Structure 1
Amino acid sequence: MASVLEQSIQVNQLNQDIEQFPQVHPITPDMHITHKGVSRLVMIDRYSFKDTEKKTLKTGDFVVLTVKQDPKFPARGLGIIHSINPEKNTALIKIDEDYRHVLEGEEQETGIIERSLDIIEKPLEIFYEQIAKRNATGLASVEKTEEKRKEWFGKFYEELVSMNFIPAGRVIYGAGSETEVTFFNCYVMPFVADSREGISDHRKQVMEIMSRGGGVGTNGSTLRPRNTLARGVNGKSSGSVSWLDDIAKLTHLVEQGGSRRGAQMIMLADWHPDIVEFIISKMQNPRILRYLIENTEDESIIRLAKEKLKFKPLTQQEDAMYQGIVNYKNIEGFGGFNEAIIRDAETKLRDGGTYSVHNPDFLTGANISVTLTKEFMNAVENDEDFELRFPDVENYTPAQMLDYNEKWHEVGDVREWEKLGYPVRTYRTIKAKELWNLINVCATYAAEPGIFFIDNANDMTNAKAYGQKVVATNPCGGVRLTLNIAG
């Protein structure tokens, strides 16, 4: 049921506006499905067809907008246009009560906020039946005769409006919209070719998919490790993790209809020499980085944790200030300071400064997961060493390098590559349990990385019957435990 605010929508006026958009079906008296709460907001924000040019926008219109602007966690909401100021390119909007909790002060009390027109959108479909009709029209449009189109429109609409069948979000958004958006929610990309051209082509495809509304899964295990020689330019590689961060940044750069941030899943194999850097890359908690430094014997974990950690010594003024706070510790009432403030001051004095992290936004454009092999899990169970390996590109002959450039990204597995007779270099060994513990500590305190048992996936998939294999999952797969196939 629509909110009290939404009940003020002028349906006749909205239908007049809809006449300018042939994709949109007008509101009829029998329409009643609006959904509630978050479902209502998602329907309007993600799937409703909108007047993106705002050519019909005016006072009294029902709109969806960014109520709270935050670089990482913007809050969306619904409201009614109170007035428009063309000179300032802003509007006053009365926000529905369900979305006022993110506001502060007078804005929260009155529900009236001023926002740029750039972050305001006007939905033309406010009932689910309108969306169902648009979808049914689009899905039936492939039929060759008008009679068949009407027949299948009716069949599709009946299933959709009764909610016997709910298509994927990109279908709901795109079908019948006459826009060049994808009808697939998520994609898994083939392995990345280990070259500037290969990375550039992969990046271009990711950008194209995301711009059309799709999410992307990438396995970066085919990219050569950090500091490996790149003979073509007589330099050294910046490493797989740096390149994967560049791909992840597309999530923040590519706009998806203004209402949703894109999604990426990026994976790296347990055998890859950059795996420790990859696992630590998203750790934002200085205390956990210090814990890792103090509680591991592995030199690479210690070194990479130190690289991520940033320390700022106290100035004389800061030292005196924190000492002054601590002096109130034994005074009744703590001199107006609460216990948390005093403990924080004691910690800073003990450490001689404050800890933070370098590159806090590194890889934030993607979820990350480690693809785990049976060999690794056996090594964990048996408390054995585990080799971090990659094709020995630094010592390949010209013929081997030609094969590498043409075939490595099709194989994508160092074990299979070695079976084909190509030299593989062991960069170093690590205690399997050290790597396993690192995954668990980071997953516990940073919620990442996830894990994906890629050998099990390939053993169980029917994709082998088609000459394909599981490369990674898409972003949804990390939550739904589904598998997606890249051929």
Structure 2
Amino acid sequence: MSVSPETLSDGRAEIEFQDASLDIWDKKYRLKSKSGDVVDETIDDTYKRVARALADAEQGTDNRERWYREFLWALRRGVIPAGRITSNAGAQAYKPATSTINCTVSGTIGDSMHDILGKVHEAGLTLKAGCGIGYEFSTLRPKGAYVSGAGAYTSGPLSFMDIYDKMCFTVSSAGGRRGAQMATFDISHPDVMDFIRAKREDGVLRQFNCSLLITDDFVNAVRDEADWPLVFPVLETEADEVDLTDPKQVVWRDWPVQSGYVTDDEGLVACKIYKTVPAKRLWNMIMSSTYDFAEPGFILVDRINEQNNNWFVENIRATNPCVTADTRLHTQYGLVRAGDLYRSGEALEVTVDRRALGESARGCEQRSAVPVFMTSDDADVYRVTTEDGYEIEATEWHDFYTERGKLPLKELRDDDRLLVQSGKGQFGTQGSAELGVLLGLIAGDGQITHRGNDQIAAVINF
């Protein structure tokens, strides 16, 4: 259905804007020039600016005009885009360095001064463009840990969070928006109690929303009234300071960063146990702080990864699944190499096994997927081969569905049974049933041969 020009103004219930709404629009979203002169005379002018900017992404004048009408119709009837779109879309002539993206996530902050300060620089530019940004700070070593390069003891992640906090307060975010930051922190980090109590001190981390990364293991420990170990990875240079085989000193677990830390053959990182606390005591501390100060929040990180709609392209907080560029995927275009899909940038309809969606029945269905993107142009690649002869090449973090559940390649065992696609894939719109039969005959009972003079023939034996 396309919206006619007449319906853009007819049939709308006229509801007066409240004074507060007009004030927010004027201060946060109304486009003005450098000298303060008004560009958007009315809210409807803002709608038109946004609708025009969104429609200009389309190909062809007629298509752009059609979608301009569609977007304007929707905006006038209550559709509210994200704030950065309302503020910055179509405003390039007045603020060309701004973004229409509301929320971003920082790359993993490495445990070094170089990376900590480098991410501050990136965050400052991100905030300046009007975006909010989130970070995980539990990748930084705990307070009191020795830093051999400096010959001193670190002040811990919360002190470095204060640098980000002050930077956010200082940088003027585009469009009059106060800088927005999100800090996450692993529930097993040795400084987790300081993180929970941080907002109790007046003026501390006021430019942050703070949330804990809560795992299933922690929830189970609370239910069982068990002890909970607070841990941090062991550096390779510290390997001789702990007994890596003693479960009272070390636990092995997934970690966002592996470089420089002690790891095993399965890619798990050795984490030193700094201390152990009753899980229920930690839970009660969280509940008390949340009741008194409305923070920290909860991020059920295991649940998020299990229910993530983009499970086929990402593993939140950890890494992105990745196959090699020559891996063929079942799409609406047929079996196409991942590298070709990446170069095309096309949105995809992919074939998904129902068992990967949590169902018990076999078979496949089609699901919308984001375009293929490159996770790394220089990563170690491994070949997985089954007893039946199936092969796939992938990075160590690519997920496989097995009878033990979903596992990254690095955690696969020789005795694992992989779930192979149990239903029909997609073969595109080219070709025909007759061609399919012919190709099947050639593959099963024929051969391809050279006749000479650059002539190739297919021979079928009946």
Report the TM-score range of the alignment, normalised by the length of the smaller protein.
0.5 to 0.7
Shift of residue 268, structure 1, vs aligned partner: 0.6
Counterpart of 1:247 (choices 160, 164, 169) is 164
Counterpart of 1:166 (choices 68, 77, 80) is 80
Q: Is the 8 A contact 1:34 1:40 kept in 2?
A: no
| Equivalences for residues 80-95 of structure 1 within 5 A | none
Does residue 272 of structure 2 align to residue 425 of structure 1?
yes
Show the counterpart of 1:368: 210
Show the counterpart of 2:286: 439
Counterpart of 1:129 (choices 30, 37, 44) is 44
Letter in 2 for 1:44: D
Distance in structure 1 (CA, Å) of the matches to 2:289 and 2:68:
50
Shift of residue 410, structure 1, vs aligned partner: 4.3
SS of the residue 2:142 aligns to: coil
Q: TM-score, normalised by structure 2?
A: 0.57
Q: Is the 8 A contact 2:29 2:175 kept in 1?
A: no
Show the counterpart of 2:23: 41
Distance in structure 2 (CA, Å) of the matches to 1:129 and 1:273:
53
SS of the residue 1:35 aligns to: coil
Does residue 111 of structure 2 align to residue 269 of structure 1?
no
| Equivalences for residues 1-16 of structure 1 within 5 A | none
Letter in 2 for 1:420: G
Does residue 176 of structure 2 align to residue 259 of structure 1?
yes
Shift of residue 159, structure 1, vs aligned partner: 2.5
Show the counterpart of 1:139: 54
Q: Is the 8 A contact 1:271 1:389 kept in 2?
A: yes
Distance in structure 2 (CA, Å) of the matches to 1:376 and 1:365:
28
Structure 1 residues not aligned, in runs of 5+: 1-28, 57-122, 285-359, 398-406, 473-486
Root-mean-square deviation (CA, aligned residues, Å) is 3.1
Distance in structure 1 (CA, Å) of the matches to 2:59 and 2:125:
30
Show the counterpart of 1:206: 123
Show the counterpart of 2:312: 465
SS of the residue 1:282 aligns to: helix
Q: Is the 8 A contact 1:272 1:388 kept in 2?
A: yes
Q: Is the 8 A contact 1:187 1:216 kept in 2?
A: yes
Q: Is the 8 A contact 1:279 1:439 kept in 2?
A: yes
Shift of residue 35, structure 1, vs aligned partner: 2.3
Distance in structure 2 (CA, Å) of the matches to 1:367 and 1:470:
17
Show the counterpart of 2:90: 176
Letter in 2 for 1:264: Q
Show the counterpart of 2:108: 191
Distance 1:161 1:419, change over 3 A: same
1:121-163 CA-to-partner distances (Å, cap 9, x unmatched) read xx43242210111112222333455454434333332232233
Distance in structure 2 (CA, Å) of the matches to 1:193 and 1:408:
12
1:397-416 CA-to-partner distances (Å, cap 9, x unmatched) read 8xxxxxxxxx964469x999
Shift of residue 258, structure 1, vs aligned partner: 6.1
Letter in 1 for 2:145: T
| Equivalences for residues 330-369 of structure 1 within 5 A | 360-369=202-211
Distance 1:274 1:444, change over 3 A: same
Distance in structure 1 (CA, Å) of the matches to 2:34 and 2:300:
43
Q: Is the 8 A contact 1:188 1:471 kept in 2?
A: no
Shift of residue 171, structure 1, vs aligned partner: 0.8
Deviating above 4 A after TM superposition, structure 1's stretches of 4 or more consecutive aligned residues are 29-34, 143-148, 407-412, 414-419
Distance 1:419 1:384, change over 3 A: farther
Show the counterpart of 2:228: 386
SS of the residue 1:268 aligns to: strand
Distance in structure 2 (CA, Å) of the matches to 1:52 and 1:34:
30
Letter in 2 for 1:129: D
More helix by share: 1
Distance 1:182 1:238, change over 3 A: same
| Equivalences for residues 296-335 of structure 1 within 5 A | none
Letter in 2 for 1:450: G
Show the counterpart of 2:404: none
Distance in structure 2 (CA, Å) of the matches to 1:459 and 1:421:
20
| Equivalences for residues 87-126 of structure 1 within 5 A | 123-126=38-41
Q: Is the 8 A contact 1:34 1:127 kept in 2?
A: no
Kindly, what percent of the aligned residue pairs are identical? 29
Distance in structure 1 (CA, Å) of the matches to 2:284 and 2:136:
22
Distance in structure 1 (CA, Å) of the matches to 2:218 and 2:285:
14
Letter in 2 for 1:40: L
Q: Is the 8 A contact 2:234 2:262 kept in 1?
A: no
Distance in structure 2 (CA, Å) of the matches to 1:173 and 1:258:
7
Letter in 1 for 2:89: A
Does residue 67 of structure 2 align to residue 152 of structure 1?
yes
Counterpart of 1:450 (choices 277, 297, 320) is 297
Q: Is the 8 A contact 2:130 2:175 kept in 1?
A: no
Shift of residue 212, structure 1, vs aligned partner: 1.0
Q: TM-score, normalised by structure 1?
A: 0.55
Letter in 1 for 2:21: S
Counterpart of 1:395 (choices 228, 238, 253) is 238
SS of the residue 1:462 aligns to: coil
